[in-house]
């Protein structure tokens, strides 16, 4: 009896999702827990795994369609998944075999796979993180003669030479994903509904870098994770938030809600857009717990495995544009929060110290804040407090 593939619950406020791209097509075999389709919600992208091994018999939705939570979107006939025949010395080995972890297929590539009748296992991915791009599918289709299945779908029996690029082929129009649309709406909402300002400062990273050099190897051996700079800034932000509670508050109607907990959002960039998973009760976490959590967030964000509940409820956000080489920027507040800290690249620059010009590893910091709630004095003082803690990290240990 066919198994129904239903849209799972995706968080309290999520009632429907959008079909991002089908990773399997009708007639494809799947293993248990192998991803079948990418689902896009307003909070995150996630993969829907097969509940059992078998063969996809019917797809009820196409890319771009919406589906309600609990709605059936495909059918799976349970049974033994088709095995890939082993290569023998008498025959040439297959060009590609099923990888241990299926590569992610981008939406444009998924459409090309369906149109050309090519299995994604035949395509060698070239995109970041092992992703299959549209160009990979086109290159594969031109590399070998089409199968009977492809010919039946209208693919020419002989590969055609690449056509010259004409004006109408220089653009590709792709609908925005639900996640990207939500990001756009929230950014516009933040600009329209809050009085946003940004204040800047710079911090000498010498002390933090010295600590990482001195204890980094021991830290990694003990905890199994590198001692990064994010844990220092999470800890420093909490110290500053305790001293300036307005930055950890939000406006709710005509009231100010002061949060007595510190749920710190960590901005993570992905192929599909920026997501902000939240470190719950970060004030209770050790350096190693913070580093492990951030590493786990980044890994699962790339794999579309973040849970919707992990992306909501933060009280303050930290965005590290320095990992992309940003020297200075003005981050946008994530509503209903009132503040966001922007970190940037560390660069050696000449600075004055005790009447002498010396070279120090410096980082620019930015604090964007809602001026309806936070005055300039508090914003500047908040950023200075972070600078003081980072330049004297021992304070985090004695809470001075």
Q: What is the 3-state secondary structure (H, E, C) of 80-92?
A: CCCCCCCCCCCCC
- Residue 193 has a pLDDT of 84
**pLDDT at 90 > cutoff 50:** no
- Residue 116 has a pLDDT of 73
Boundaries of domain holding 23: 3-161
Strand ranges in 172-231 using DSSP code E only, listed in sequence order: 196-204
Catalytic residue list: 371, 375
Residues 144 and 274 placed together within one structural domain of the fold: no
For helices 230-243 and 376-391, what crossing angle results, to 10°? 140
**pLDDT at 100 > cutoff 70:** no
- Residue 387 has a pLDDT of 97
Q: Parallel, antiparallel, or unpaired for β 72-78 and 264-266?
A: unpaired
Grade residue 88 by pLDDT with cuts at 50, 70 and 90: very low
Contact call for residues 392 and 356 (beta carbons, < 8 A): no
Grade residue 18 by pLDDT with cuts at 50, 70 and 90: confident
Residues 257 and 366 placed together within one structural domain of the fold: yes
Q: What is the DSSP letter of 43?
A: S
Question: Does 167 map to a domain?
Answer: no
Distance between CA atoms of residues 265 and 282, nearest Å: 10
Burial 295-325 (b: 16+ CB within 10 A, else e): eebbebbbbbebebbbbbebbbbbbbbbeee
Distance between CA atoms of residues 217 and 80, nearest Å: 47
Distance between CA atoms of residues 320 and 310, nearest Å: 19
The CATH number given to whatever domain includes residue 222 is 3.30.559.10
Question: Does 181 map to a domain?
Answer: no
Global model pTM greater than 0.75? no
Q: What is the DSSP letter of 360?
A: E
Residues 43 and 132 placed together within one structural domain of the fold: yes
Q: Parallel, antiparallel, or unpaired for β 255-258 and 35-40?
A: unpaired
> What is the rounded average pLDDT of the residues 50-73?
89
Domain count, the chain: 2
Grade residue 331 by pLDDT with cuts at 50, 70 and 90: very high
Residues 67 and 10 placed together within one structural domain of the fold: yes
**pLDDT at 205 > cutoff 80:** yes
**pLDDT at 248 > cutoff 70:** yes
Residues 235 and 380 placed together within one structural domain of the fold: yes
């Amino acid at each position: 009896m066919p198994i129904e593939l239903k849209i799972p619950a995706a968080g309290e406020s999520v009632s429907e999702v959008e079909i991002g791209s089908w990773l399997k097509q009708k007639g494809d075999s799947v293993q248990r827990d192998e991803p079948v389709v990418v689902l896009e919600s307003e909070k995150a992208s996630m993969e829907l795994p097969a509940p059992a091994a078998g063969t996809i018999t019917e797809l009820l939705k196409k890319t771009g369609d919406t589906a309600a939570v609990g709605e059936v979107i495909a059918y799976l006939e349970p049974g033994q998944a088709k095995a890939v025949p082993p290569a023998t010395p008498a025959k040439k080995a297959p060009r590609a075999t099923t990888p241990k972890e299926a590569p992610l297929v981008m939406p444009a590539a998924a459409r090309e796979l369906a149109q050309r009748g090519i299995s994604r296992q035949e395509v060698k991915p070239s995109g970041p993180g092992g992703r299959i791009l549209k160009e990979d599918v086109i290159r594969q289709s031109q590399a070998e003669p089409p199968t009977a299945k492809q010919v039946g779908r209208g693919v020419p029996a002989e590969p055609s030479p690449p056509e010259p690029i004409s004006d109408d082929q220089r653009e590709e129009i792709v609908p925005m994903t639900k996640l990207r649309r939500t990001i756009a709406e929230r950014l516009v909402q933040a600009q329209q509904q809050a009085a946003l300002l940004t204040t800047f400062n710079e911090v000498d990273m010498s002390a933090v870098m010295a600590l990482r050099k001195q204890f980094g190897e021991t830290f990694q051996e003990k905890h199994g994770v590198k001692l990064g700079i994010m844990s220092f800034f999470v800890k420093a932000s909490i110290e500053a938030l305790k001293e300036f509670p307005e930055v950890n508050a939000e406006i709710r109607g005509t009231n100010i809600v002061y949060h007595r907990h510190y749920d710190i959002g960590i901005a993570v960039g992905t192929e599909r857009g920026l997501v902000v998973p939240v470190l719950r009760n970060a004030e209770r976490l050790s350096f190693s717990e913070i580093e492990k959590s951030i590493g786990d967030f980044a890994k699962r964000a790339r794999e579309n495995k973040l849970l919707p509940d992990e992306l909501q409820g933060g009280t303050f956000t930290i965005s590290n544009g320095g990992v992309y080489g940003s020297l200075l920027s003005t981050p946008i507040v994530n509503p209903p929060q009132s503040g966001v800290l922007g970190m940037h690249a560390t660069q050696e620059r000449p600075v004055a110290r005790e009447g002498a010009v010396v070279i120090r590893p410096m980082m620019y910091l930015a604090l964007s804040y809602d001026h309806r709630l936070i005055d300039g004095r508090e914003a500047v003082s908040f950023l200075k407090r972070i600078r003081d803690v980072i330049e004297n990290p021992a304070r985090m240990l004695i809470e001075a």
